[in-house]
Amino acid sequence: MLFDDPDFQETIASVLVPVAVAGAYTYKVPPGQSVVPGTIVKVPLGPREVIGAVWDIEPDAAINPKKLKTISHVYDKTPPLDDDLRRFVDWVANWTLGAPGMVLRMVLRSEEALEPEAPVPGVRRIEGAEPDRLTPARGRVLATMEDGFAWTKSGLAHAAGVSASVIDGLLQQDVLETVLMPAAPPPPKPQLDYAQKPLTPAQQAAADGLTACFGKGGAVALIDGVTGSGKTEVYFEAIAEALRRGKQALVLLPEIALTEQFLRRFEQRFGVYPAEWHSQITVKNRSRVWRGVASGDVRVVIGARSSLFLPFKELGLIIVDEEHDAAFKQDDRVPYSARDMAVVRGHLSGFPVVLASATPSVESIVNAEVGRYKLFELPERASGAALPDLMAIDMRQDGPERGRWLAPGLVHGIAGTFAEGGQSLLFLNRRGYAPLTLCRTCGHRFQCAHCSAWLVEHRFQKKLVCHHCGHQEPVPKACPSCQSVDSLVACGPGVERIAEEVTELFPQARVLVLSSDIAGGPDRLKREMKIVEEGGADIVIGTQLVAKGHNFPLMKLVGVVDADLGLAHGDPRAAEKTFQLLAQVTGRAGRVTGGGKGFLQTYNADHPVIKALLSSDKKAFYQAEIEARRAAGLPPFGRLAAVIVSGPDRGYAEGFSRALARAAPPDQAVTLLGPAEAALAMVRGRYRFRLLAMAPRQYDLQAYLRHWLSIGPKPTKGLRLQVDIDPQHFL
């Protein structure tokens, strides 16, 4: 820069701001301040101020600096976002067709995190000073302070068992003085050799294989191990290796209800808890974790998908546990797959990424087959326990009587397990009491006013609830259509209804429902998971929450109430997802001691998914599924992108989607399907139409979409247009 030329004294920076625009805005850097790419700043944007990050320094921008606004604040206590993270943000934006600023928004979460936490006032003993009169209360205070450390006033009063006035008295007499203490000391570091379990030979081989992935660029490893094979113990050794190399590690889990058990296991291995990152932690803790990750004080994070965007100082490993889980896909704002983007982040920064599952995604299996991923298989349970014996109950022949949902064969199995003191788990992926409520007199069905979905009765709460928008209404006494009183009937079962049946059948058993919507929220759920783990329940009824990786050591029997749910679906991954879910849930049985049993209630005993589950022939199922995908050109052999148009006016949304389809540039490689009304045609008062673009694997579908959307009609009148690359949910 030419500092002697007055025209060039101003530094101009482009700043990415958290709004949905295509690029960065330019600002002047305030005199006397210095910024570099990645520096976090506050800038004026229209009438407000927003937090953004310097993306580039532009010494010779062809803009008259007089017309530019000035950066209003530089957060110079926070390290600038490094090159790797900025490249990652740009990469994700480019891949998802999202605005880079909206991706950056996932990095910059809270302003509070950008300034160091203010120190808190405390008190300390002045050396040698003695009070005029040593009362017993004062004596207790001084004894408590013998170690010479500073205390908060309230903490000291509590520890010494005195009132705050005793401490004030000692302050007045200059026996104690006020000092400032750091708000939170850095968390203790994991200890690499705290308590390593001896690994089985298969586990050791996998752990050694993972360790060998370090220092080889962005290698990806897939641990394909049956439920209970000790995948966690194995990837703990990869974490140890990352820490040994002075790197940080991140573990992604699909469900926060799982973190409790994970935290305890991590502590058993490394002597400390890792940091947690998900929607349930407090703003204060969130800021601490964000800062600790950026400063390097935090070495290991366990988190939900959004932790992928944390500003790690020296990230050197990502583990994606239960990698097949659809919860890793975010659907709103920037639709992205945290599993796939974890692989990208590892690739960009040259560190290993480990995917783990008992039922990997077809995508990951294919990647392992062609050698893109290193495969480590753990075909046996760590305890040596056999996998559960599975059998189908053909509901056409051996089903329950009318109005009942559990077949006699299953009830018999539960009775036997209960008599032996074992736990049973009944799995039904339907919350509430009944999925549909109707009037016996006139046939009126209760539907959500804002969504094309039935209202689900929640009998414990005495409410009808929409599972798509959260709308609730009390269960009415009379039918709103024909005014008949007490004429409402519940159709089909939800978990609450199964619980009712179980309580009737087994009045002495302790019955517990585990569902994500139980009153009391995540804390209660965590407690109840622990109760089950420790044997405080005999029969557990759960939704898909219980399928996800949780270890219930006393669980002996798993009954799948409706194995067909999820098979009939417009989703190309329906078979795969059903297989994964049912293999996972039946895998909860007999994990430690063996002797587990699984029952699948089905009307389709001949369906390939059911047959594959019963024969435990996982490989055959995957091979058949892979061939079917290859033949149909579906992922991972082809690429898919959904374009979803939604708006408050049905006709307008439909007309727009048709016009958009007509504007699609003809291209031999691209097949365009739709527009079709979405399976859930209306959500939250918005009508939805879907277009689906298919192309071969090597084709640059993003470039095609970008071109198409740039020449196509632009959404107006409250219409929203969302692109979803590699969609996972087809509702």
- The yes or no reply on residue 202 touching Zn ion (CB under 5 A) is no
441 binding partner (options ligand ADP, Zn ion, none; Cβ < 5 to 8 Å by kind): Zn ion
Minimum distance of Zn ion from residue 719's CB (angstroms): 20
Residues 705, 97 contacting (CB under 8 angstroms): yes
423 binding partner (options ligand ADP, Zn ion, none; Cβ < 5 to 8 Å by kind): none
Nearer to ligand ADP, 199 or 338 (CB): 199
| Residue 451 marked as a ligand binder | yes
Q: Side-chain half-sphere of 415: how many Cα atoms within 13 Å?
A: 11
Stretch that binds ligand ADP, among 222-230, 444-452, 644-652, 703-711 (CB under 6 A): 222-230
CA atoms of 641 and 659, how far apart (whole Å) = 18
For residue 187, is the peptide bond before it cis, meaning its omega torsion is within 30 degrees of 0? no
CA atoms of 529 and 526, how far apart (whole Å) = 5
Nearer to ligand ADP, 351 or 552 (CB): 552
Stretch that binds ligand ADP, among 50-58, 220-228, 426-434, 475-483 (CB under 6 A): 220-228
Written as one letter, the residue type at 373 is Y
Q: Which of 469, 505, 509, 592 binds Zn ion (CB under 5 A)?
A: 469
The alpha-carbon radius of gyration of the chain (Å, integer) is: 29
For residue 665, is the peptide bond before it cis, meaning its omega torsion is within 30 degrees of 0? no
CA atoms of 318 and 350, how far apart (whole Å) = 11
CA atoms of 605 and 609, how far apart (whole Å) = 9
16 binding partner (options ligand ADP, Zn ion, none; Cβ < 5 to 8 Å by kind): none
Q: Which of 223, 318, 414, 439 binds Zn ion (CB under 5 A)?
A: 439
* CB neighbour list of residue 372: distance below 8 Å, 6 or more residues apart: 220
Separation in Å, CA 483 to CA 84, 476, 605, 664: 65, 10, 43, 51
Written as one letter, the residue type at 221 is A
Nearer to ligand ADP, 351 or 376 (CB): 376
Minimum distance of ligand ADP from residue 594's CB (angstroms): 12
Give one DSSP letter per residue of 264-278, joined into a string: HHHHHHHSSPPEEES
CA atoms of 464 and 434, how far apart (whole Å) = 10
601 binding partner (options Zn ion, ligand ADP, none; Cβ < 5 to 8 Å by kind): none
CA atoms of 415 and 556, how far apart (whole Å) = 12
Nearer to ligand ADP, 383 or 487 (CB): 383
Count of Cβ atoms closer than 10 Å to residue 276 Cβ: 20
- The yes or no reply on residue 93 touching Zn ion (CB under 5 A) is no
Burial of 480 (C-beta count, 10 Å sphere; 0-12/13-18/19+):
exposed
575 binding partner (options ligand ADP, Zn ion, none; Cβ < 5 to 8 Å by kind): none
| Residue 491 marked as a ligand binder | no
227 binding partner (options ligand ADP, Zn ion, none; Cβ < 5 to 8 Å by kind): ligand ADP
Stretch that binds ligand ADP, among 221-229, 342-350, 494-502, 657-665 (CB under 6 A): 221-229
Give one DSSP letter per residue of 613-670, joined into a string: HHHT-HHHHHHHHHHHHHHHT-TTSEEEEEEEEEES-HHHHHHHHHHHHHTSPP-TT-
Nearer to Zn ion, 477 or 619 (CB): 477
> Which stretch of DSSP H or E encloses residue 28?
strand 25-28
Minimum distance of ligand ADP from residue 321's CB (angstroms): 7
197 binding partner (options ligand ADP, Zn ion, none; Cβ < 5 to 8 Å by kind): ligand ADP
CA atoms of 254 and 118, how far apart (whole Å) = 34
451 binding partner (options ligand ADP, Zn ion, none; Cβ < 5 to 8 Å by kind): Zn ion
Q: Binding-site residue total for Zn ion (CB under 5 A)?
A: 14
Backbone torsions φ then ψ of 10, nearest 5 degrees: -80, 135
363 binding partner (options ligand ADP, Zn ion, none; Cβ < 5 to 8 Å by kind): none
Written as one letter, the residue type at 495 is V
CA atoms of 320 and 304, how far apart (whole Å) = 10
What is the separation of C-alpha 255 from the centre of its chain, rounded to a whole number of angstroms? 5
Q: Which of residues 476-505 bind Zn ion (CB under 5 A)?
A: 479, 481-482
Nearer to ligand ADP, 266 or 730 (CB): 266
Backbone torsions φ then ψ of 183, nearest 5 degrees: -60, -40
Closest CA to 405 of 496, 501, 490: 501
x-or-dash string of contact with ligand ADP, 355-384, rule CB under 6 A: ---------------------------xx-
- Residue recorded with tokens 């008949």: 484
- The yes or no reply on residue 233 touching ligand ADP (CB under 6 A) is yes
588 binding partner (options ligand ADP, Zn ion, none; Cβ < 5 to 8 Å by kind): none
Minimum distance of Zn ion from residue 334's CB (angstroms): 24
CA atoms of 598 and 410, how far apart (whole Å) = 9
439 binding partner (options Zn ion, ligand ADP, none; Cβ < 5 to 8 Å by kind): Zn ion
| Residue 442 marked as a ligand binder | yes
Q: Which of 18, 169, 225, 346 binds ligand ADP (CB under 6 A)?
A: 225
Count of Cβ atoms closer than 10 Å to residue 175 Cβ: 21
Minimum distance of ligand ADP from residue 691's CB (angstroms): 39
Burial of 385 (C-beta count, 10 Å sphere; 0-12/13-18/19+):
middle
| Residue 466 marked as a ligand binder | yes
66 DSSP assignment: G
Count of Cβ atoms closer than 10 Å to residue 9 Cβ: 12
Nearer to Zn ion, 476 or 535 (CB): 476
Torsional class of 45: left (φ above 0), alpha (ψ -120 to 50), beta (otherwise): beta
| Residue 479 marked as a ligand binder | yes
Tokens at 669, concatenated: 């490689």
Residue 541's DSSP bridge partners are: 426, 513
Q: Which of 42, 105, 231, 345 binds ligand ADP (CB under 6 A)?
A: 231
- The yes or no reply on residue 463 touching Zn ion (CB under 5 A) is no
349 binding partner (options Zn ion, ligand ADP, none; Cβ < 5 to 8 Å by kind): none
Residues 533, 261 contacting (CB under 8 angstroms): yes
User: In terms of residues, how long is the chain?
Assistant: 731
Nearer to Zn ion, 448 or 664 (CB): 448
Separation in Å, CA 566 to CA 395, 515, 516: 17, 18, 19
Q: Which of residues 379-418 bind ligand ADP (CB under 6 A)?
A: 382-383
Q: Which of 96, 232, 584, 646 binds ligand ADP (CB under 6 A)?
A: 232
Minimum distance of ligand ADP from residue 322's CB (angstroms): 9
| Residue 482 marked as a ligand binder | yes
- The yes or no reply on residue 466 touching Zn ion (CB under 5 A) is yes
| Residue 213 marked as a ligand binder | no
Tokens at 93, concatenated: 């934006």
- The yes or no reply on residue 571 touching ligand ADP (CB under 6 A) is no
> Which stretch of DSSP H or E encloses residue 346?
helix 338-349
Count of Cβ atoms closer than 10 Å to residue 719 Cβ: 19
Q: Which of 11, 78, 96, 229 binds ligand ADP (CB under 6 A)?
A: 229
Minimum distance of ligand ADP from residue 555's CB (angstroms): 12
- The yes or no reply on residue 451 touching Zn ion (CB under 5 A) is yes
Q: Are strands 353-357 and 220-225 parallel, antiparallel or unpaired?
A: parallel
Q: Which of 200, 417, 543, 584 binds ligand ADP (CB under 6 A)?
A: 200
Nearer to Zn ion, 440 or 697 (CB): 440
Nearer to ligand ADP, 39 or 200 (CB): 200
- The yes or no reply on residue 264 touching ligand ADP (CB under 6 A) is no
Tokens at 114, concatenated: 């950008």
Which residue number is nearest to ligand ADP in terms of Cβ? 230
Stretch that binds ligand ADP, among 110-118, 165-173, 225-233, 416-424 (CB under 6 A): 225-233
Binding region for ligand ADP (CB under 6 A): 197-200, 203, 225, 227-233, 382-383, 551
- Binding site, annotated residues: 439, 442, 448, 451, 466, 469, 479, 482
Binding region for Zn ion (CB under 5 A): 439, 441-442, 444, 448, 450-451, 466, 468-469, 471, 479, 481-482
- Binding site, annotated residues for Zn(2+): 439, 442, 448, 451, 466, 469, 479, 482
